[in-house]
Amino acid sequence: MLSIKNLHASIEGTPILRGINLEIKAGEVHAIMGPNGSGKSTLASVLAGREEYEVTEGAVLFQGKDLLEMAPEERAREGVFLAFQYPVEIPGVSSTNFLRTAVNQVREHRGLEALDAVKFLSLMKEKMKLVEIDQKLLSRALNEGFSGGEKKRNEIFQMAMLEPKLSILDETDSGLDIDALKVVSNGVNQLKSAENATIVVTHYQRLLDYIVPDYVHVLYKGQIVKSGTKDLALELEEKGYDWIKEEVESKAIV
């Protein structure tokens, strides 16, 4: 589904991603971990098409198409969804209105007819149950004055509404209380199918108890320096990143 080859990206001339290789197949869950500043959010942003990042080398294929050629909204319509680490507030625009615009533009792209108000509201009701989000929150302006946890929950609600092929969750777990973490993970799991794939970026092994990954990758200084199974996450939880950093440095010396 997603094939990243030797991806290099920089911002304002500073290289951040330095040769990422990653293959993701439909139905898989990949976890990406790594110390602060290693480039996890950058990778997510580059995949979503944020233009400040300049791709200097490499290629990304999404469902056989050149992802890097597409405008951000095209990527979204093709099925790439990013749950932001820091969701943006849009004053005066209700979540309902925002999502209706989004859902209908995505549907149009997929050759489906636009949902009328009634159909849209019933779809909302159905998806609201999935992440147990309060109707009241959705009638307020988008993310405006939402608590950190509410914003994160709203991201997953939007994901449920848009039914993406590839979801990238950037630290969706941070800021969620224990109950919310379970609810949100449960929502993500229910949305999982053999046709879609998920990338979860996290610092905490705990999330991976709920959303069980098929692979765990460690990103360090803009490269994937280690890949493994769920056990790697446990090992990191126990030992931290120092041993990996040492491994990388010693290799560099040799």
Partner 1 sequence: MSKDNQILEEFTSKEYEHGWSVNYEADEAPVGLNEDIIRWISVKKEEPQWLLEWRLKAFKTWQSMTEPEWANVQYPKIDLQALKYYSAPKQKSKPKSLDELDPELLAIYERLGISLNEQKRLQGIAVDAVLDSVSVATTFKETLSKLGIVFCSFSEAVKEHPELVKKYLGSVVPITDNYYAALNSAVFSDGSFCYIPKGVRCPMELSTYFRINAANTGQFERTLIVAEDESYVSYLEGCTAPQRDENQLHAAVVEIYAGAHAEVKYSTVQNWFPGDKNGKGGIYNFVTKRGICAGDHSKISWTQVETGSAVTWKYPSCILKGDHSIGEFYSVAVTNNYQQADTGTKMIHIGKNTKSRIVSKGISAGKSQNSYRGQVQVMKRATNARNFSQCDSLLMGDRCGAHTFPYIDIHNPTAKVEHEATTSKIGEDQIFYCNQRGIATEDAVALIVNGYAKEVLNQLPMEFAVEAQKLLALTLEGSVG
Ligand X SMILES: Nc1ncnc2c1ncn2[C@@H]1O[C@H](COP(=O)(O)OP(=O)(O)OP(=O)(O)O)[C@@H](O)[C@H]1O
Q: Which residues bind ligand X (CB under 6 A)?
A: 11-12, 14, 16, 34, 36-42, 85
The beta-carbon contacts of 237-243 under 8 Å, at least 24 apart in sequence, are: 237/204, 237/205, 241/34, 241/35
Residue 38 vs 95, nearer CB to ligand X: 38
Our finding on whether 77 is near partner 1 (CB under 8 A) is yes
Tokens of 159: 């994901």
Question: Where does this chain bind Mg ion (CB under 5 A)?
Answer: 40-41, 85
Number of chain positions touching partner 1 (CB under 8 A)? 33
Residue 27 vs 35, nearer CB to ligand X: 35
Taking the complex as a whole, the smallest distance from the CB of residue 10 to Mg ion amounts, in Å, to 17
By CB under 8 A, the residues from 27 to 56 that bind partner 1 are 48-52
> Shortest CA distance to 31 belongs to which of 219, 243, 235, 238?
219
State how far the Cα of 99 lies from the Cα of 96, in Å rounded to an integer.
5
Our finding on whether 111 is near partner 1 (CB under 8 A) is no
Sign of CA dihedral 196, 93, 172, 223: positive
State how far the Cα of 69 lies from the Cα of 66, in Å rounded to an integer.
6
State how far the Cα of 146 lies from the Cα of 154, in Å rounded to an integer.
9
Residue 40 vs 127, nearer CB to Mg ion: 40
Residue 10 vs 41, nearer CB to Mg ion: 41
User: Where do contacts with partner 1 occur on this chain (CB under 8 A)?
Assistant: 48-52, 71-73, 75-77, 81-82, 84, 87-88, 90-93, 97-99, 101-103, 105-106, 109, 141-142, 158, 162
